[in-house]
C-alpha cells in the first residue's frame, strides 16, 4: 500500500484531505523540515559573496566561483549518489549522507584558504543535494499515480521555501557572528534533525532495484536517450534556473554597496518575498494532474520573463523590486513542479535516477547563471544583469514553444 507524503505547509484548500490519515502530522512536518534544512546548505553562500571575496581576496568577477563549486558538487551528487535511491534502502542511505554533510559544513567553517573553501563548498553541494533530492524521489515513489503531481508539488514547495529562507538565515547569522557561524550553525541544525529523521523515516514496501552500481549509473544514459519528456523538461530547467541564479547571485552586490548599504540580514530578508510566489505556485502540480501541464508551463515562463522589468527598477523603488522577486519565484517554482510532475510519470521504477538526471540540468543552469552574473555585474552593473536574465528567460519561453507538443 502506497503512502502519500505531502508538506503540511501546503494543504489542499478545496476541503479534500491532502494526506492519508495514517501519516501523522508530526512525520509530515519532519519531512518538510529535513528537506528545507538540506537544500538550504547549498544556498547559504549567495548572500555572503561580498564578505567571502574580502576574506579570501577574491575579486567580484571571480567570486561566483564559490557558488559554481557548490553546483559542481550538486552535479556529482545527481550522477553518483542520488541514483542509489533506486538500489539501496533510502533510510540508511540518507543517514550516512546526513552525517557526512555535517562534516562538510564544519570543514567549510574552518577553511583557511580559498582552495579549502572551494573544496568544502563542493562537498556541501554534493551531500546537501543528495539529501534533498533523495527526499523528493521518496515522495514521488510513495504517492499514488493520480496524486503524484500534487504530492511532488507540495514537497518541492517545502524545498523551495527552505531555499529562500536560507538567505534570511545566512544574512542574519553572519551579521550576528560572521560567515563561519552560518556553517557551524547549520551543522548543529543537521545534527538536531538526524535522530528524529533516522527514527521516524518510513520504508517503502517496494524492494530496491538489485542491479549493480555500474549498471545503475549506465542506465541513466539510456533514460536520457529514450525519454523525450526528460530531455525537454531538463532543457527548460537549465534555462529557468540559470535565470533564477542570475538574479539571486548578483542581488547582494548592489544592495550591499552605496546608496543602499544594507546588512546581510536585510539582504537575506528579500528572500521572504519569494515565499509568497512559492506558495501561489503550489497548485502547479495539481494542475498537471488535471492535464494542464503545458498551460501551466506557459504561464510560469511568462511570469519569469515579465519579472525582469520590475527587477531592473531597483534604483527607482525597492517595492517594485519585491514585486519582481514574487514574479520570479512564482514562475520558477510553478515550472519546476510541473517539470517534475511530468517526468515522474514516465518510469515509476526509476524515480531516483529520473530526479538525478533532471536536477543535473538544474545544476548546470545554476552554475552557469552564478558565474555569468558576477562577471556581467563587474562590467555592466545591475542593468547588465537584468538584460542577461531577461534574455535567458525569453530563450526559455521560445524553447517551450517549439517543444510544447512533447508531453
Kindly report the number of other CB atoms within 10 A of residue 180's CB atom: 15
Contact between residue 45 and residue 121 where contact means Cβ atoms under 8 Å apart = yes
> Given a cut of 60, is residue 322 above it in pLDDT?
yes
Grid cell locating 355: 530526479
Mean pLDDT value across residues 352-370: 87
Q: What is the mean pLDDT of the chain?
A: 83
288 or 293, which is more confident:
293
pLDDT of residue 22: 37
> Given a cut of 60, is residue 6 above it in pLDDT?
no
155 or 311, which is more confident:
311
User: What number of CA atoms fall less than 13 Å from residue 175's CA on the CB side?
Assistant: 16
Rounded CA gap, 133 and 81, in Å?
A: 10
User: What number of CA atoms fall less than 13 Å from residue 242's CA on the CB side?
Assistant: 23
pLDDT in tens, 374-391: 889 988 999 999 999 999
pLDDT of residue 208: 58
pLDDT of residue 10: 36
Q: What is the pTM of this model?
A: 0.78
Grid cell locating 295: 498551460
> Given a cut of 90, is residue 9 above it in pLDDT?
no
Rounded CA gap, 303 and 370, in Å?
A: 21
**61: confidence class by pLDDT, cuts 50, 70, 90:** low
> Given a cut of 80, is residue 143 above it in pLDDT?
no
Q: How far is CA 249 from CA 254, 346, 385, in A?
A: 11, 33, 10
Q: Which DSSP category does 262 fall into?
A: -
**92: confidence class by pLDDT, cuts 50, 70, 90:** confident
Contact between residue 370 and residue 67 where contact means Cβ atoms under 8 Å apart = yes
Contact between residue 250 and residue 374 where contact means Cβ atoms under 8 Å apart = yes
User: What is the separation, in whole angstroms, between the first and last Cα of the chain?
Assistant: 28
Grid cell locating 252: 547582494
Least confident residue range of 158-172, 193-207, 294-308: 193-207
Kindly report the number of other CB atoms within 10 A of residue 265's CB atom: 17
Question: Domains, the chain, ranges and CATH?
Answer: 22-403 (1.20.1250.20)
Amino acid at each position: 500500500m502506497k503512502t502519500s507524503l505531502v508538506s503540511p505547509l501546503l494543504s489542499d484548500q478545496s476541503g479534500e484531505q491532502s494526506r492519508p490519515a495514517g501519516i501523522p502530522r508530526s512525520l509530515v512536518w519532519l519531512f518538510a523540515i529535513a528537506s528545507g534544512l538540506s537544500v538550504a546548505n547549498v544556498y547559504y553562500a549567495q548572500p555572503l559573496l561580498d564578505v567571502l571575496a574580502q576574506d579570501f581576496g577574491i575579486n567580484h568577477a571571480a567570486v561566483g566561483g564559490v557558488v559554481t563549486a557548490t553546483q559542481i558538487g550538486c552535479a556529482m551528487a545527481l550522477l553518483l549518489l542520488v541514483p542509489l535511491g533506486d538500489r539501496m534502502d533510502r533510510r540508511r542511505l540518507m543517514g550516512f549522507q546526513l552525517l557526512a554533510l555535517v562534516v562538510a559544513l564544519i570543514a567549510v567553517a574552518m577553511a583557511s584558504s580559498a582552495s579549502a573553501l572551494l573544496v568544502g563548498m563542493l562537498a556541501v553541494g554534493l551531500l546537501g543535494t543528495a539529501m534533498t533530492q533523495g527526499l523528493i524521489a521518496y515522495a514521488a515513489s510513495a504517492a499514488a499515480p493520480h496524486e503524484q503531481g500534487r504530492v511532488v508539488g507540495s514537497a518541492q514547495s517545502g524545498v523551495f521555501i527552505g531555499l529562500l529562507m536560507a538567505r534570511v538565515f545566512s544574512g542574519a547569522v553572519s551579521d550576528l557572528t560572521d560567515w563561519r557561524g552560518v556553517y557551524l550553525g547549520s551543522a548543529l541544525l543537521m545534527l538536531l534533525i538526524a535522530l528524529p529523521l533516522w527514527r521516524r523515516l518510513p520504508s517503502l514496501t517496494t524492494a530496491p532495484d538489485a542491479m549493480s552500481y555500474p549498471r545503475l549509473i549506465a542506465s541513466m544514459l539510456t533514460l536520457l536517450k529514450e525519454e523525450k519528456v526528460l530531455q525537454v523538461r531538463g532543457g527548460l530547467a537549465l534555462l529557468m534556473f540559470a535565470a533564477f541564479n542570475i538574479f539571486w547571485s548578483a542581488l547582494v552586490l548592489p544592495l550591499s554597496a552605496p546608496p543602499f548599504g544594507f546588512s546581510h540580514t536585510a539582504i537575506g530578508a528579500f528572500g521572504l518575498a519569494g515565499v509568497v510566489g512559492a506558495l501561489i505556485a503550489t497548485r502547479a502540480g495539481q494542475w498537471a494532474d488535471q492535464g494542464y501541464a503545458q498551460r501551466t508551463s506557459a504561464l510560469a515562463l511568462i511570469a519569469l520573463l515579465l519579472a525582469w522589468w520590475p527587477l531592473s527598477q531597483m534604483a527607482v523603488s525597492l517595492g517594485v523590486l519585491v514585486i519582481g522577486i514574487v514574479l520570479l519565484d512564482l514562475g520558477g517554482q510553478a515550472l519546476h513542479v510541473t517539470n517534475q510532475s511530468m517526468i515522474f510519470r514516465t518510469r515509476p521504477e526509476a524515480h531516483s535516477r529520473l530526479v538525478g538526471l533532471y536536477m543535473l540540468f538544474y545544476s548546470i543552469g545554476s552554475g552557469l547563471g552564478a558565474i555569468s552574473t558576477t562577471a556581467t555585474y563587474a562590467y555592466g552593473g545591475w542593468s547588465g544583469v537584468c538584460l542577461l536574465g531577461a534574455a535567458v528567460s525569453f530563450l526559455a519561453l521560445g524553447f517551450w514553444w517549439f517543444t510544447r507538443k512533447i508531453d
